[in-house]
């Protein structure tokens, strides 16, 4: 929707509300609801928000230790500058449109470097300076439940019952029963300009997968974020809850967010070379080598919470090793479309809780470093990678991933010290909050027997 389209719809009354949104550190949409007339008359230029919004946790707490913002600095404002190229209808909400905003420093008007969307834009610009256009696609996995968010929360998040009673991977009968939620998700997102390809049942009871067509990296992240938001709102409207928590039940498989990626130049795929082994060009080989070499450095951006690491378990289709393989779902990186122009690499490490802007920015940084340094790609692994003792392990805890992030010279060079320090503090805070918690597991295990 163009700005002129929006003005016309506000004028004829078909749009009365404009969501001015930005993406926070957790990948959520934050912002304000504007009356349509106010937005098209004045607020399309800019609005403001508190700068603590890019230094919070999932609970919207205000942790200490951030250089960018603090109680000592008084928690001032950021400028939210609407990117008018991102206006779109929000068909699942009556009379509503949405625009994504750039976050600027209130005093200098410069982009805020730790803003997730800005972080991805900087890596895309780096990519374009090398002559490439990064193209990506994400898969969104999540669980649907019989009851709604409010009922589940009031019940203490206990007795969670998925919307189906059995594994529904590719199952048409069971997913038919869920069409009251999934059909509006597909259709509303498509009407909002999100190029949805399909939905399907995933490999557990109540687990869904939504696939969106590949796009430029920034568009891909925008599509992912809006789709994730829409899934929750549409499920809620139908009386159900949807969760993107990677591992909500120890006995069930987790939810991932696989990221497919390739580089293009002038409309042609740079990862493909007709005469090369598997169709992989030298550019692709160097890029994938970078992804693998630096995977521990950016694991935090793929797995940002304590729960994220509960998903990494053998025999669950979640990887445990940072190696690549050919069309093999036990590896951290899977080569897809070998020998064709569609050849690409799929990163299988990320969970459903990742922030796509941060994940894509970090992977681009690693892949481009591989190209710059002409890193050599090791041979692909074969067979059951879970049992490959020689393969490099994915960091298995948030604490381990935090320390590797802190010391990453690659990410510090690509993103800047302040940005890496900012997200290192976010990781530390998440660990500190968990360390203060007393869990049900501890009480049940030791209440009587300790």
Give the Cα separation of 24 and 281 in Å (integer): 36
Q: Residue 398 — very low, low, confident or very high, per pLDDT cuts 50/70/90?
A: very high
CA distance 301 to 111: 21
Entry pTM: 0.96
| Whether the predicted pLDDT of 194 surpasses 90 | yes
Look up tokens 């498989």; give the residue: 253
Per-residue model confidence (pLDDT) at position 79: 96
Other CB atoms within 10 Å distance of the CB of residue 445:
11
> In angstroms, rounded to a whole number, what is the distance separating the alpha carbons of residues 225 and 231?
10
Four-residue CA torsion sign, 39, 43, 49, 53: positive
CA gap 353, 423 in Å, rounded: 16
| pLDDT interval class at 384 (50, 70, 90) | confident
**Pair of tokens at residue 190:** 């498509």
Surface-to-core class of residue 128, CB atoms within 10 Å of its CB (0-12 exposed, 13-18 middle, 19+ buried): exposed
Per-residue pLDDT tens over the stretch 263-296:
999 999 999 999 899 999 999 999 999 999 999 9
Contact 265, 281 (CB under 8 A): no
Does pLDDT of 315 surpass 90? no
Alpha helices in 254-385 (DSSP H): 282-293, 295-302, 356-372
Which pLDDT value is given to residue 158?
92
What's the pLDDT at 80?
96
Domains of the chain: 3-110 (3.10.20.70), 123-441 (3.30.590.10)
DSSP 99-142: EEEEEEETTT-PBPTT-HHHHHHHHHHHHHHTT-EEEEEEEEEE
Q: Within 10 Å of residue 123's Cβ, how many Cβ atoms?
A: 24
What is each CA distance from 158 to 153, 249, 366, in whole angstroms?
A: 8, 11, 40
């Amino acid at each position: 929707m163009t700005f002129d389209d929006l003005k016309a719809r506000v004028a004829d009354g078909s749009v009365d509300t404009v969501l001015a949104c930005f993406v926070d550190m957790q990948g959520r949409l934050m912002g304000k609801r504007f009356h349509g007339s106010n937005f098209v008359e004045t607020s399309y230029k800019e609005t403001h928000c508190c700068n603590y919004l890019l230094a919070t946790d999932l609970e919207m707490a205000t942790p200490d230790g951030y250089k960018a913002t603090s109680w000592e600095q008084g928690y001032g404002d950021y400028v939210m500058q609407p990117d008018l190229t991102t206006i779109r209808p929000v068909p699942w909400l009556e009379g509503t449109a949405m625009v994504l905003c750039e976050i600027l420093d209130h005093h200098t008007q410069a982009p805020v470097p730790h803003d997730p969307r800005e972080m991805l834009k900087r890596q895309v610009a780096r990519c374009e300076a090398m002559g490439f256009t990064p193209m990506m696609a994400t898969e969104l996995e999540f669980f649907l439940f019989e009851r709604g968010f409010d009922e589940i929360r009031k019940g203490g998040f206990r007795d969670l019952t998925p919307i189906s009673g059995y594994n529904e991977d590719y199952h048409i009968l069971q997913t038919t029963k869920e069409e009251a939620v999934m059909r509006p998700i597909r259709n509303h997102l498509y009407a909002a300009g999100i190029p949805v390809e399909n939905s399907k049942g995933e490999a557990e009871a109540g687990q869904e997968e939504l696939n969106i067509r590949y796009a430029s990296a920034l568009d891909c992240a925008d599509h992912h974020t809006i789709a994730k938001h829409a899934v929750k709102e549409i499920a809620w409207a139908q009386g159900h809850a949807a969760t993107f928590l990677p591992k909500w039940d120890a006995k069930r498989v987790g939810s991932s967010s696989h990221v497919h990626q390739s580089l293009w130049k002038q409309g042609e795929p740079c990862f493909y070379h007709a005469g090369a082994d598997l169709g992989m060009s030298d550019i692709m080989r160097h890029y994938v080598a970078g992804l693998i070499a630096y995977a521990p450095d950016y694991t935090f951006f793929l797995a940002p919470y304590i729960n994220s690491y509960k998903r990494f378990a053998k025999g669950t289709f979640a990887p445990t090793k940072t190696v690549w393989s050919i069309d093999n779902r036990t590896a951290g990186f899977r080569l897809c479309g070998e020998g064709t122009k569609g050849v690409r690499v799929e990163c299988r490490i990320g969970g459903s809780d990742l922030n796509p802007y941060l994940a894509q920015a970090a992977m681009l940084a690693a892949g481009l470093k591989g190209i710059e340094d002409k890193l050599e790609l090791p041979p692909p692994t074969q067979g059951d990678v879970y049992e490959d003792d020689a393969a490099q392990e994915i960091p298995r805890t948030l604490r381990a991933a935090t320390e590797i992030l802190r010391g990453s010279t690659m990410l510090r060079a690509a993103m800047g010290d302040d940005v890496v320090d900012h997200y290192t503090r976010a990781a530390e805070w998440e660990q500190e909050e968990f360390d203060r918690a007393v869990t049900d597991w501890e009480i049940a295990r030791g209440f009587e027997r300790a």
